[in-house]
Structure 1
Amino acid sequence: MKLKRMVLFMFSPCFLAVSAANAGNWENTIKESSFISDSELELTTINMWKYLKTENRFDKQEQRYRKQVANAWGQNFQADFRSGYLGGILGFDVSYYGGIKLGASKDFASRAILYNDDGEAKGYNKIGQRFAKVRFDLDPVLINGKAGWFTLKNTGIFTNSQRLSLNSYNGYYTNTAMGDWSLDLLYLDGKVMRRDSPNIDRMYFSDGNGVRHNIDHVITGGVNYNSKPLKVYYFYGQADDVFRQHGLETKYKLTSDVTLGGVVYYHDYGSEGKRTLTNANAGKRNFDKDAWHFAGTMEWRIPESAWTIRTGVTYTDAKKANGVGQFARNPIGNTRGRFNSPAYADIDYVRDGEVMGALEAAYKVNNELSVGARTNYSEFSYSGERLKQGQFGLFSYWKPTANLSISLSGGIGWHHQQENDYTTPKLYDGHSRRAHSLSGSMTTTYRFKM
């Protein structure tokens, strides 16, 4: 009888009206919470084509130097959900990436646009980011943290470059900020989803003996100072006990039109990665003991003009016996290394003893369109031979609306044939042989935020 009365009461008009009112209040509370009201969904489509023709690399399968055409064309769809913070403290983000193959050549893989499934170009789908996030506003200190899979941009020793998706890493991250100062700390478990793959891969590193190590964990971070005229970033990272990296990046706004910059990067082997072999030829490696890279830059926005001039000079020190060492831009395999230097180009200028000069001129046609040209030239010596190489290219960037942008670039380069390590020049009777390159790129991006 009690149960029957309770059921009748629950279905009575009075009870239903009160319940509906309470439900409405609960829904309003949820909607008004920052967790929901500050949430956003951004949809992005990227159409990307990249092309590079080279003739400087030795084909191991065909045992000869041949022209290699790396051509890849793909379309992506990306959805990024970013929640607000529950109670101002806890939230989560999720990102989906989908890539569709539109075209590819035999040597497509180096363009990092399409998934390389045992030599076959394919599209892919993946949840590239999925992490919980926390925020503590302890005025004047602000702490942000992440746990899960996330992307990194100029954080610690890692960065990202856009393809149809971005590299993502699994681990923990915190940023503690106070005024112009901030501190980044990261612990990564060695797992990575590459920007051109749906798979979970393992970071790896080739030590001073050329022995490959799978990476179990990476500890990295940095101290950042960011004021209006001066920006200074110091970062450090260590992969297990086989590799270490230091970096210092600076920018100073000398005047309202002139900005100066400089970088110093350092690589060395950890205690378990040092070179122990006495045979100078044994083991494929980037350098014997350590490697340095230096760069200085200047940007000049010409007053009362639509022109901007950028220039830079770089130098690399990376000794290697019986060959030419290099400062590898991505020293840890399957990752994107932090490297903000003018030496980053279609073919990088990071060989031992290499001095490189870069010049770029950009012209702002109107608020939507910019066009320009850039060139690089470098020299270094090997076995009595003076090697000279460089490139010249044109670029444009068009942003007709807030959501749409189109970038185009292309250029030619002159280099030299290389040994199997892709760094040391191939000499014939003490002389190198010229090799050329041709590159092109087009990216169309559309973003819509809800």
Structure 2
Amino acid sequence: MMTIKKLLLIACSPCCFFAADANASDWEKSLADDPFFADSTFDISARNMWKYLKTENRYDNEEERYATSVQQAWAQGLTVDYTSGYFADIIGFDASYYTAAKLGASDNFASRAILYDDDGEAKGYTKIGQRYAKLKMDILRAKVNVKGGWFTIKNTGIFSNSQRMSLNTHSGWYANTAIDNVSVDTLFLDGKVMRRDSPNIDRMYIRDGNGESRDVDHVITGGINYKSKPLKAYYFYGVADDLLFKQGFEGWWDAFPDITLGTQIYEQEYGSDAKRTTSSTARGKQDFDKRAWHYSATVEWRIPQTPWKIVGGLTYTEAKKTNGVGQFTRNVIGNARGRFNSPAYADIDYVRDGETMLALAAEYKFTPDLSVGVRTNYSEFDYEGETLRQGQLGIYSNWDPAKNWSVYLNGGYGWHHEQESDYTTPKLYNGHSQRANSLCGEMSVTYRFRL
């Protein structure tokens, strides 16, 4: 493995083409022993993923009725992550290669975010998603890490990520400065993004207070993080041009050895260029008029001397909207994944204006390699005198049959209501809503190894 790794690293270096003299072998050995190459790694992962969703709650404009929609996609993916060491203990370079092959897809597949939507046709893709230079240095007690180029973002600033065949990557600069338990993140993004289901470079956008789509030129975001053994606390903020301001707080406290308490508070507000300016009361595609808040509290209980874990959560949302029901959209910036670690992450149905949701999950660890759990959500909110109730019930399992192998299964049933064309406001018939059901399923098998 080490010989293969060194050959790959040397082959990747443009300098190797100049090593043609008699001292080539000594030069190559010296090059391979340099920390930039010697500390480098290739992490390779293969992922097979299938996702399925069947819904009844959305209006079909072509059929002019509420129709059943099946959204399904299945693909095989491969990821190669190259992580270099540091030349002179200062500078390095990382890159990630992603490829996905189509195995199957329904007509409505794009929402599963697995395959590339090429004008309605499901396709695989290949791309180099990450490629960035990185810098590290110590300044007195502070440890500074900087990177510039295309990179992934996970729970940093106002952005996050979730795995499909690849990850969202953004173009810009990132810096982290850490002193002991405290660190500060700063990001400048130029608005360009490669989505997790596409090989193309797209632009982030926002649907403003009038329901109009607006491109984002740049985003400045960051946060302050505190991490210790009993307490983790994060405050973050972000500004997208003069279109949107977003901030949030997340905290987890190990109140007892077996109990962890948490809270998450998020706010998003349209800026001066995106506020609602029209007096029209037509129901539009805007998420909210001016400002939206989401609050949540969580508790995790790892029952002593048993293989059981119980998790509970309570959430509430405020998102006023003219002539309709607003929502706190977790991915309020289009083509990007928003930071949102509330129990209401399960579905868009649980973040409507005035909606209160209760979540509960129980997990049993049969062996160190196999755990199975059940989870449920229930919520209520009022609209024009009608109380809307909805929820879901699901089962999931995590299994690690061998080293570097992982298998995840998930499925569930949900009960909701028919929606207006804005996908948020309930459709009422003589003052009453109409029940609509949903069914979902997911399977992923992942294998990882390192050179």
Q: TM-score, normalised to structure 2's length?
A: 0.94
Match of 1:179 in 2: 180
Match of 2:421 in 1: 420
- Distance in 2 between residues matched to 1:316 and 1:368, nearest whole Å: 37
Residue 214 (1) aligns with residue 219 (2): no
Match of 2:442 in 1: 441
Cα-to-partner distance string for 1:114-134 (whole Å, 9 max, x where unaligned): 000111100000001011111
Residue 38 (1) aligns with residue 39 (2): yes
**Pairing 1:350-389 to 2, within 5 Å after superposition:** 350-389=351-390
- Conserved 8 A contact 2:84-2:93: yes
- SS of the residue 2:256 aligns to: coil
- Conserved 8 A contact 1:244-1:270: yes
- Distance in 2 between residues matched to 1:428 and 1:24, nearest whole Å: 81
- Distance in 2 between residues matched to 1:283 and 1:387, nearest whole Å: 21
- Conserved 8 A contact 1:319-1:325: yes
Match of 1:92 in 2: 93
* Unaligned stretches of 5+ residues in structure 2: 1-19
- Conserved 8 A contact 2:283-2:422: no
Deviation at 1:211, TM superposition (A): 1.8
**Pairing 1:217-228 to 2, within 5 Å after superposition:** 217-228=218-229
Return the letter of the residue paired with 1:359: L
Return the letter of the residue paired with 2:104: G
**Pairing 1:19-58 to 2, within 5 Å after superposition:** 23-58=24-59
- SS of the residue 1:28 aligns to: helix
Bigger Rg, which one: 1
Cα-to-partner distance string for 1:157-203 (whole Å, 9 max, x where unaligned): 00000000000000000011110000000010100000000000011
Q: Bigger shift: 23-32 or 94-103? A: 23-32
Aligned residue pairs, count: 432
- Distance in 2 between residues matched to 1:210 and 1:407, nearest whole Å: 38
Deviation at 1:137, TM superposition (A): 2.4
Return the letter of the residue paired with 1:122: K
Return the letter of the residue paired with 1:431: H
- Conserved 8 A contact 2:283-2:324: no
Match of 2:307 in 1: 306
Deviation at 1:34, TM superposition (A): 1.3
Match of 2:248 in 1: 247
- Distance in 2 between residues matched to 1:62 and 1:156, nearest whole Å: 42
- SS of the residue 1:173 aligns to: strand
- Distance in 2 between residues matched to 1:114 and 1:26, nearest whole Å: 45
Match of 1:78 in 2: 79
Q: Decide whether aligned partners of structure 1 residues 347 and 243 sit closer, same or farther in structure 2, where only a CA change above 3 A counts.
A: closer
- Conserved 8 A contact 1:315-1:353: yes
Q: Bigger shift: 24-33 or 76-85? A: 24-33
**Pairing 1:9-24 to 2, within 5 Å after superposition:** 23-24=24-25
Return the letter of the residue paired with 2:298: T
- Distance in 2 between residues matched to 1:242 and 1:63, nearest whole Å: 35
- Distance in 2 between residues matched to 1:283 and 1:378, nearest whole Å: 24
Cα-to-partner distance string for 1:27-57 (whole Å, 9 max, x where unaligned): 3332222111110001110000000000001
- Conserved 8 A contact 1:207-1:273: yes
- SS of the residue 2:367 aligns to: coil
Match of 2:287 in 1: 286
Match of 1:318 in 2: 319
Deviation at 1:282, TM superposition (A): 5.9
Match of 1:64 in 2: 65
- SS of the residue 1:36 aligns to: helix
Deviation at 1:419, TM superposition (A): 0.3
Return the letter of the residue paired with 2:320: K
- Distance in 2 between residues matched to 1:391 and 1:308, nearest whole Å: 20
* Unaligned stretches of 5+ residues in structure 1: 1-18
Q: Bigger shift: 279-288 or 438-447? A: 279-288
- SS of the residue 2:328 aligns to: coil
Match of 2:15 in 1: none
- SS of the residue 2:390 aligns to: strand
- Distance in 2 between residues matched to 1:355 and 1:413, nearest whole Å: 17
- SS of the residue 1:365 aligns to: strand
- SS of the residue 2:345 aligns to: coil
**Pairing 1:158-197 to 2, within 5 Å after superposition:** 158-197=159-198
Match of 2:102 in 1: 101
- Conserved 8 A contact 2:329-2:348: no
Q: TM-score, normalised to structure 1's length?
A: 0.94
Residue 396 (1) aligns with residue 397 (2): yes
- Conserved 8 A contact 1:258-1:299: yes
- Distance in 1 between residues matched to 2:214 and 2:322, nearest whole Å: 22
- Conserved 8 A contact 2:173-2:188: yes
Deviation at 1:288, TM superposition (A): 1.0
- SS of the residue 1:142 aligns to: strand
- Distance in 1 between residues matched to 2:124 and 2:372, nearest whole Å: 32
- Conserved 8 A contact 2:283-2:322: no
Deviation at 1:348, TM superposition (A): 3.9
- SS of the residue 2:31 aligns to: helix
Return the letter of the residue paired with 1:306: P
Return the letter of the residue paired with 1:317: E
Percent identity between matched residues is 61
- Conserved 8 A contact 1:209-1:282: no
Deviation at 1:271, TM superposition (A): 1.1
- Conserved 8 A contact 1:191-1:201: yes
Return the letter of the residue paired with 1:358: A
- Distance in 1 between residues matched to 2:400 and 2:339, nearest whole Å: 27
Return the letter of the residue paired with 2:251: T
Return the letter of the residue paired with 2:265: V
- Distance in 1 between residues matched to 2:236 and 2:340, nearest whole Å: 12
Deviation at 1:281, TM superposition (A): 1.8
Q: Decide whether aligned partners of structure 1 residues 282 and 350 sit closer, same or farther in structure 2, where only a CA change above 3 A counts.
A: closer
Deviation at 1:23, TM superposition (A): 4.6
